[in-house]
Structure formats: structure tokens, C-alpha cells
Structure 1
Amino acid sequence: MYRLTTVLITLCTIIFTVLAAPIRLNGIATVSIEKRTTHTGDGTWFEVGTGACGYTDQDSDPIVAISAQIYGSGSNCNQWIHITNTDNGQSAYGKTRDECESCGSGSLDMSPGLFEELSTLDTGEIPISWHFMSKDWSP
């Protein structure tokens, strides 16, 4: 009886492990467990310094401050974001390093260096769409 129970538990463990793993085809994961949400809002720029994530950055660094609603406990710190200016199609990548208290949930505040990859500083505010990259992604 003990042997049969051990065999059944082992088989169940193997089956659940296989079902929980992503399907791979030629070494590439074909099923993603992380849903990518595209946000839309306004993009603005700010002079950076020491951000809510605890890092001190320069205006030339590709830095993003996300809304307080999304920032939450800071679990997105150091995560890269792909940002597109929906007026001209220009896109760039920025790293989450700060929280923007005055931003709407879909809006981002960017370092001058990052903002200039999408528009001129004189523009001040641009319509954007954006999404987080995978946690382990880096340009």
C-alpha cells in the first residue's frame, strides 16, 4: 500500500510540474505567463536627482517616473519601459527609477535625455503609449 501511494504522489507531482512549465518550441517559450498591458497617457519631462527607488541619476540618463497608482511599493524599480510618442511614432526605452505623484495612471514623467529621444523639450507634453518590458530585459 505504501509503495502504491508513493508512486501515485510521484506521478501527480510530475504531471503538475509539466503542466506548469511554459511550452517551448525550438528553445523559445511560446506561452507567456506575464500579460503585457499597453498604457496610454501624457509624457512630460522633469529634472532628475535621487528618485523614489533610491538611485541618483543624471538628466542625460534614460529615466522614467511612473504614476503613484502603478508605483505602489516600488516593485517596478529598475524595470525597462518601451515608450512611443503616438504623434510622430518615435520610440525609446526608459528605466523606472522614480514615482510621479502628479501623473495620471497612464502618464509618465521622463528625464530630459529620454524625452528628447521622443520630441523636443519645448514641446513639454506629448501623447504616449507604453508598456513594461520583461523584468530581466535590458537594451
Structure 2
Amino acid sequence: MAAIGLVVSLVMALSPGRETDAGEARAAGDSRSARDTPGTPAAGARASAPQTAPEQTPSTTPTPTKGKKPPKATPTPKPTPPAAQSTPQSGSAAAPLVGRIRPNTTYEGVATFYDAGNGDGACLYGPTSDVMTAAMNHTDYETSKACGAYVRVRAASGASVTVRITNECPLPCAPGQLDLSAQAFAKLAAPSRGQIPITWSLLSPDTSDTISVRYKTGSSRYWCGIQVIGHRNPVARLEVRAGGGWRQLPRTEYNYFLAEDGNGCGSTIRITDIHGERLTVDGITVRPNTVQPTKVQFSKR
């Protein structure tokens, strides 16, 4: 019996399919173990799956800083002048009459001097025999508003001199600075000083002269520039009669009021000083580069 049992066991062990079943059972167990183990990826998943790039928030277009415009690819066209410059305006629509230089105000600064030559300057009054003149610093010159103003200048020594503004002292001339003619500076200190501290104030001087008007070279009924000469107080505004009303003309750095379209050229002129006094002048025709006297003058203040 024992021999028969041994033979049966050997036959069963060597029977086909038994090794295959055991191998399949082991493979199935290994596969379950890999799937069912938390946190363990399937074999090859790490290498074959594409990497996802981090999600990026789309960049937004920057908001331009207030007051600045983003650059453009095409040139910006030249702006059209405001309509207010080419249509009649009433006096109430104008800007304040008094600029940086105010009556009854004392300013501090320094005085320097220069060779004034024949007395002509940025204000384009032309040559003059009056050597008591000065150039106003760029800031207080204020687009020629200071032109023709009379200023009393005082030095620390107590010496003083009255000058008329006929020129502009460009930067780096500081606010408050006056560049006097050499003759005017000599009234305050020795030229060897070069520069001295001063105070100065606006003056409304005694004068027997009357105001004159001059049309700029090249003026006609199609384009004109108008200048006021010999005014006691600084001129704040110039208007011309046009279209049944008064048209205020813009002022230039070179002290002319322009009517670039000719509207009002040769008509009645109204001149206003910084105190608000208005003078109306008739009969001034368009005669380029000719000083035409009037019979009016601003009041002494």
C-alpha cells in the first residue's frame, strides 16, 4: 500500500497545469497587492504620465499711471488749438488778472547784472536810451506777464533803484532773482560784488506818457500780433472787437498778443491791467512795426 501511495503522489506532482495554476495565483496576489496598497502608483505611471505645468494666472495689462499715456505706435497728431482762442470771449471768462507778481507784496532774492546793450530784450520793446532796466527770472517772467512792469529794488545797505522789466533771465535764474543792467546794479553796490541780496516790489510810477500800440512785423488782416508799450501797470489782458463781441487774444513769450486767424486785426482794442482797469482804443490800423500812440494811460495805484 505504501508503495502504491508513493507512486500516486509522484504522478500527481508531475501532472500538467499544476505549476501554471500556482504561478497565476502568485501573480494575481502580487497584482492585488500593488493596486490595494494606498499611495503606491501603478508600475510605470510616474514615467509615462506627462507633467502638468503649474497653472498660471494670465497677466493683466498694467493700468497707466495717472497723467501718463501708454506709448503709441503712431505719432500723436498736433492738437487743434482750443476753440476759445478763436471765438469771441467775454471778460468774465478770462483767467485771473494778477499773476505771480502782485501789488503790495515784497519779494526776496538776489541781484546780478549783465550788459544790457541797446536795452532790447525778450519783451521786444526795441532799443532804448533808458538804461535802468532789468531781466526778470524765468519763473516770475511768466510768459511775458512781467514785461513792462516797474520794480523798485532795495539792497541791504538801504540803496534803491527803480527799473523796468524788458528782458527775461533764463534758468538757472531762481525765483526772486533780478538780472539788472550794469548801470542799475551800480546804483546798489560795487560791480565787484557780482551778486547781492535784495528785496523788490511792484511799482505804479508817476508818468506823463500815454500808452502806445504796435502791430508786429508781418501783420495783416489775415494774421496779426499786437503789443502794448509804455503802460504804467502790467498788462493782464488784450481783447479785440470781433463778431459783435470781445475776443481775448493769447499772449506769447515774446510779449505779443496773437490773432492767428486775423479775426479782430485792425479793429477796436481793449487793454486791461492787473488791477482790472480797462482802456479802449479806436483808430489803430494794421501798420506793421510802427509805434502808434494813444491818448490813454492806466491810473496810478
TM-score, scaled to structure 1: 0.67
- Indicate if the aligned counterparts of 2:114 and 2:181 stay in contact, CA closer than 8 A: yes
C-alpha RMSD of matched pairs (Å): 2.2
Equivalent-residue separation in structure 1 for 2:299 and 2:184 (angstroms) = 18
Structure 2 stretches lacking a partner, 5+ long: 1-101, 205-232, 234-297
* Aligned residue identity for 1:94: V
User: Which whole-Å deviations, capped at 9, do the CAs of 1:25-67 have from their partners, x for residues lacking one?
Assistant: xxxxxxxxx6422111110001114311013446970111111
Residue of 71, 74, 83 corresponding to 2:153? 83
Runs of 4+ in 1 over 6 A off after TM superposition: none
User: Which whole-Å deviations, capped at 9, do the CAs of 1:81-129 have from their partners, x for residues lacking one?
Assistant: 000002x110110000011113110111000110011011111101000
Residue of 97, 107, 113 corresponding to 1:39? 107
SS of 2:179's equivalent in the other structure is strand
- Indicate if the aligned counterparts of 1:47 and 1:59 stay in contact, CA closer than 8 A: no
Aligned to 1:10: none
Structure 1 pair 56–83 and aligned structure 2 pair: CA distance change class (3 A): same
Equivalent-residue separation in structure 1 for 2:192 and 2:299 (angstroms) = 31
Aligned to 2:199: 129
Aligned to 1:15: none
Aligned 1:44-59 pairs, distance under 5 A: 44-49=112-117, 50-57=120-127
The answer to whether 1:105 aligns with 2:175 is yes
How many equivalent residue pairs?
Answer: 104
Residue 68 of structure 1: CA displacement? 0.7
Structure 1 pair 114–43 and aligned structure 2 pair: CA distance change class (3 A): same
Residue of 165, 172, 179 corresponding to 1:96? 165
SS of 1:96's equivalent in the other structure is strand
Equivalent-residue separation in structure 2 for 1:126 and 1:95 (angstroms) = 19
Equivalent-residue separation in structure 1 for 2:195 and 2:161 (angstroms) = 16
Q: Give percent identity, aligned residues only.
A: 28
Equivalent-residue separation in structure 2 for 1:109 and 1:137 (angstroms) = 28
Q: Which stretch shows the higher mean deviation, 117-126 or 49-58?
A: 49-58
Equivalent-residue separation in structure 1 for 2:111 and 2:167 (angstroms) = 14
SS of 1:70's equivalent in the other structure is helix
Equivalent-residue separation in structure 2 for 1:75 and 1:106 (angstroms) = 15
Equivalent-residue separation in structure 2 for 1:59 and 1:47 (angstroms) = 14
Structure 1 stretches lacking a partner, 5+ long: 1-33
SS of 2:183's equivalent in the other structure is helix
SS of 1:76's equivalent in the other structure is coil
- Indicate if the aligned counterparts of 1:60 and 1:113 stay in contact, CA closer than 8 A: no
Which structure has the higher relative contact order (CA within 8 Å, separation 6+)? 1
* Aligned residue identity for 1:117: K
Q: Which one has a larger percent strand, Structure 1 or Structure 2?
A: 1
